[in-house]
Amino acid sequence: TQKLEWKNFLPFIYPTAGMLFLLTMYVQYGMVSLLWLLVVVAATDVGAYFVGKSIGKTPFCVTSPKKTMEGVVGGVLIATVAGFFIGIAVVDGEKAALISFAVALTSIFGDLFESYLKRQAGVKDSGNILPGHGGVLDRIDGYLFGAIVMLILLRGLV
């Protein structure tokens, strides 16, 4: 018999929780909240990639060695600005900027979490649909982590 540990259930619990947060966001704040999340996470990922490629020099984290501090800062700033313009359809400007900033940071950590899991499994990239971005799972983890933070902040700040 195999001993059951909580970490064996993490691959099932984590995405399910994220999906429940997405569903709750949709029900309580409408489709625009999901669009807001999509834009912030995508802008973080794409912004970090291009800023990091163009001016990145300082390594950010050993878990994801290609990430640079400059890329992370650039991605978060780009996502905060992009998210602001959609977020103001849901909340006031100050809250839209704050939530966009927090979700952008969170999506970076979602990506790092997924990178850690990939390294533990001995996988370099989780796909090549998004060339240079480490795969679709990187983006999905950003959405799942971001959804949790966005909903908590929407409920706490609104």
Domain-wise residue ranges, the chain: 25-157
Percent pLDDT > 90 in the chain is 58
Instruction: Give which of 127, 102, 119 is closest to 44, Cα–Cα.
Output: 102
Q: Once rounded to an integer, what is the mean pLDDT over residues 49-59? A: 95
pLDDT at 97: 98
What tens digit of pLDDT does each residue of 59-117 get?
Answer: 998 878 888 999 999 999 999 999 999 999 999 999 999 999 999 999 998 888 877 77
| Angle between helical axes of 136-157 and 31-55 (0-180°, round to 10) | 130
pLDDT given for residue 138 in this prediction: 61
How far apart CA 48 and CA 82 sit, in angstroms, is 13
Model pTM greater than 0.75?
Answer: yes
What is residue 64's three-state secondary structure? coil
Q: Does residue 126 surpass a pLDDT of 90?
A: no
Q: Which of 29, 12, 11 minimizes the C-alpha distance to 21?
A: 29
Q: Report the distance separating Cα 122 and Cα 29, nearest Å.
A: 39
Can you give the pLDDT at residue 110?
Answer: 85
Average pLDDT (138-158) is 86
Ranking 32-41, 116-125, 132-141 by mean pLDDT, the lowest is 132-141
Per-residue pLDDT, averaged over 30-48, amounts to 96
